[in-house]
A and B are shown apart, each in its own frame.
Chain A
Amino acid sequence: MATRIDVSGLTAFYGKFKAVSDIHFSIEPKNVTAFIGPSGCGKSTVLRTLNRMHEVLPGARVEGRVLMDGEDLYGPGVDPVNVRRAVGMVFQRPNPFPTMSIYENVVAGLKLNGTRKKSLLDERAEESLRGANLWEEVKDRLGRPGAGLSGGQQQRLCIARAIAVEPQVLLMDEPCSALDPISTLAIEDLIVKLKSSYTIVIVTHNMQQASRVSDTTAFFTLDKTGDPGRLVEMDKTEKIFSNPAQKRTEEYITGRFG
Chain B
Amino acid sequence: MTSDPDGPRTHLSGDGGSVATTEPTSSSDAARVSPVDVFFKNLTRTAGLGLLALIAAIAVFLVVKATSALNANTGHFLTTTEWFPNASPPFFGVAALLFGTLLTAVIAMVIAVPVAVGIALFITVYAPRRLAMPLAFIVDLLAAVPSVIFGLWGLLVLVPRMDGLQMWLTDYFGWIPLFATDNGAVGRSIFVASVVLAIMILPIVAALSREVFLQVPIAHKEAALALGATRWEMIRAAVLPYGKPGVISASMLGLGRAMGETIAVALVLPASFGISWKILAPAGNTIAANVANGFAEANNTGRGALIASGLVLFIVTMIVNMAARAVIARRREFSGAAS
Q: Are B336's CB and A113's CB within 8 A?
A: no
Alpha-carbon gap, A85 to B225, bound state (A): 9
Does A91 sit at the interface, judged by CB under 8 A?
A: yes
Judging by beta carbons under 8 Å apart, are B129 and A84 in contact? Answer: no
Main secondary structure of the interface of B (DSSP, over half): helix
CB distance A98 to B226 under 8 Å? no
B6 part of interface (Cβ distance < 8 Å):
no
B224 interface residue, CB < 8 Å from A?
yes
Nearest 10 pairs of A and B residues by beta carbon: A85-B228, A98-B336, A99-B241, A147-B339, A89-B226, A95-B219, A109-B227, A84-B228, A95-B223, A99-B334
Q: With A93-B219, A158-B223 as given contacts, are A82 and B228 in contact (CB-CB < 8 Å)?
A: yes
| B238 / chain A contacts, CB cutoff of 8 Å | 97
Interface residues of B (CB under 8 A from A): 129, 217, 219-220, 222-230, 233, 237-238, 241-242, 244, 331, 333-336, 338-339
Identify which of A29-37, A50-58, A115-123, A245-253 touches chain B.
A50-58
A148 at the interface (CB under 8 A from B): yes
Asked if A100 is at the interface (CB within 8 A of a chain B CB), the reply is yes
26 interchain pairs (CB within 8 A)? A53-B226, A56-B225, A81-B228, A81-B229, A81-B230, A84-B225, A84-B229, A88-B226, A88-B227, A89-B226, A91-B226, A95-B220, A97-B220, A97-B241, A98-B242, A98-B336, A98-B339, A99-B335, A109-B227, A112-B237, A145-B338, A147-B333, A147-B336, A148-B333, A158-B223, A161-B227
A91 to B333, CA, bound (A): 23
Q: What residues of chain A have their CB less than 8 Å away from a CB belonging to chain B?
A: 51, 53, 56, 58, 81-86, 88-89, 91, 93, 95-101, 108-109, 112-113, 145, 147-148, 158, 161-162, 165
Known: A95-B217, A95-B222, A98-B338. 15 other contacts (CB 8 A): A58-B129, A81-B228, A81-B229, A83-B228, A89-B226, A91-B219, A97-B241, A98-B241, A98-B339, A100-B237, A100-B334, A108-B227, A113-B228, A148-B338, A162-B226
8 Å CB contact of B336 from A86, A93, A99: A99
Residue of B nearest to A53 (CB): B226
- The reply to whether B226 and A147 contact each other, CB–CB distance below 8 Å, is no
Q: Which residues of A contact B335 (CB under 8 A)?
A: 98-99
B residues less than 8 Å from A81 (CB atoms): 228-230
Given A56-B222, A95-B220, residue A165 in contact with residue B227 (CB < 8 A): yes
Which of B228, B230, B237 contacts A97, CB < 8 Å?
A: B237
CA gap between A83 and B224 in the complex, in Å: 13
Q: Which residues of chain B are within 8 angstroms of A56 by Cβ–Cβ distance?
A: 222, 225
| A98 contacts B334, C-beta separation under 8 Å | yes
**A196 to B237 alpha-carbon distance, docked (Å):** 31
